[in-house]
C-alpha cells in the first residue's frame, strides 16, 4: 500500500517538474497538441450533440430528453475523450520522449544514452512503433472487458476491473517514455511494471483522475510524463 501511495505522489510531483528551468520549453509542444485535439473534441461534441440526440430519440419520446441528455452527453464525451487521448499520445510520442529525457537530465545530471545518440527521426520512428505495440496490447485486454460488462450478474465487478485496467494502461503508456530512452522495449516495460506493480498502479491512478477532469486534463500529458520519469529514476536509484 505504501508503494501505491508513493506512485500516486510521483505523479503529482510532475506539476513542479514541468515548471523547472530548462524543462518548460519541452512542455510546449505536448501541451499544444493536447489543447488542440481536446479543444477540437469539445467543439465537435457541442456542434453535433443536438443532431445526435434527435436521431437517438423519436419525437414522441422527447419528454425523456431531460433524463437521456446527461447520460448521452457523458457517454459521447468519454468515447471522444479516449479516442482523442489515443491520437494525442500517438502524435506527441517523440516529443514526450524528449521531455522525459530533459526531466531525467534535470533530476540526475545525466542524459539518457539512447537520446544522446539518436537523431530526431529515429526517436519519432521508435516512439511511433512503441505506440502501436501499446495499442495492440490494450485492445487485447479491452475486448474481454467490454464483453464482461454486458454479462448480467458477473458485470457487477466490471467498474472495478475498468478502473484497474485504466490505471495499469496509463502507467504503461507514460512509463514507456523514460524507460524506452534507456533502450527498453515494450515487453521489458511490462515486466518492469509487474515487478513494481503497486507503485505503477499508484502512478496510473493519479493520471486517470487528472485525465477524467475536463480542461484540467489539458495538462495531464506533460505532468504524467514528468511523474513517470521521476518514478523510474527513483526506482533505479539515480
Q: Domain-by-domain residue ranges, the chain?
A: 2-236
Rounded Cα–Cα distance for residues 210 and 27 (Å): 17
List the grid coordinates of 231.
518514478
Rounded Cα–Cα distance for residues 77 and 96 (Å): 25
CA dihedral 59, 62, 64, 67 (to 10 degrees): 120
CA dihedral 17, 19, 22, 24 (to 10 degrees): 110
Answer whether 134's CB lies under 8 Å from 176's CB.
Answer: yes
Answer whether 194's CB lies under 8 Å from 170's CB.
Answer: no
Tell me what pLDDT residue 197 has.
Answer: 92
Alpha helices in the chain (DSSP H): 2-17, 24-56, 65-108, 113-117, 120-149, 158-180, 186-195, 197-211, 220-236
Answer whether 9's CB lies under 8 Å from 196's CB.
Answer: no
pLDDT tens series, the chain, 238 aa? 788 999 999 999 999 999 888 888 888 888 888 777 777 777 776 666 666 556 655 555 555 555 555 655 555 555 566 666 777 777 777 788 889 999 999 888 888 866 655 565 566 676 777 777 887 888 888 788 778 767 776 667 777 787 888 889 889 989 988 998 888 888 889 999 999 999 999 999 999 888 777 778 788 889 999 999 999 988 765 4
List the grid coordinates of 132.
502501436
List the grid coordinates of 234.
527513483
Tell me what pLDDT residue 238 has.
Answer: 47
List the grid coordinates of 137.
496490447
* Number of residues in the chain: 238
Which whole-number Å values give the CA distances from 174 to 76, 130, 150, in the listed order? Answer: 25, 11, 30
Regarding pTM above 0.75, the answer is yes
Tell me what pLDDT residue 66 has.
Answer: 57
Amino acid at each position: 500500500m505504501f508503494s501505491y501511495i508513493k506512485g500516486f505522489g510521483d505523479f503529482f510531483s510532475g506539476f513542479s517538474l514541468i515548471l523547472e528551468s530548462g524543462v518548460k520549453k519541452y512542455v510546449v509542444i505536448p501541451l499544444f497538441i493536447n489543447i488542440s485535439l481536446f479543444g477540437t473534441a469539445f467543439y465537435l461534441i457541442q456542434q453535433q450533440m443536438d443532431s445526435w440526440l434527435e436521431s437517438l430519440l423519436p419525437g414522441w419520446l422527447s419528454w425523456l430528453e431531460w433524463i437521456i441528455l446527461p447520460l448521452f452527453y457523458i457517454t459521447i464525451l468519454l468515447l471522444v475523450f479516449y479516442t482523442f487521448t489515443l491520437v494525442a499520445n500517438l502524435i506527441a510520442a517523440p516529443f514526450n520522449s524528449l521531455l522525459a529525457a530533459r526531466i531525467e537530465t534535470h533530476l540526475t545530471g545525466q542524459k539518457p544514452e539512447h537520446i544522446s545518440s539518436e537523431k530526431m527521426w529515429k526517436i519519432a520512428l521508435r516512439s511511433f512503433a512503441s505506440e502501436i505495440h501499446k495499442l495492440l496490447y490494450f485492445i487485447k485486454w479491452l475486448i474481454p472487458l467490454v464483453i464482461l460488462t454486458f454479462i448480467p450478474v458477473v458485470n457487477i465487478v466490471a467498474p472495478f476491473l475498468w478502473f484497474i485496467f485504466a490505471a495499469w494502461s496509463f502507467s504503461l503508456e507514460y512509463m514507456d517514455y523514460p524507460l524506452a530512452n534507456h533502450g527498453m522495449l515494450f515487453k521489458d516495460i511490462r515486466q518492469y511494471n509487474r515487478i513494481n506493480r503497486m507503485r505503477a498502479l499508484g502512478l496510473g491512478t493519479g493520471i486517470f483522475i487528472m485525465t477524467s477532469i475536463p480542461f484540467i486534463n489539458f495538462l495531464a500529458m506533460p505532468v504524467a510524463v514528468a511523474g513517470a520519469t521521476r518514478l523510474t529514476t527513483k526506482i533505479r536509484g539515480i
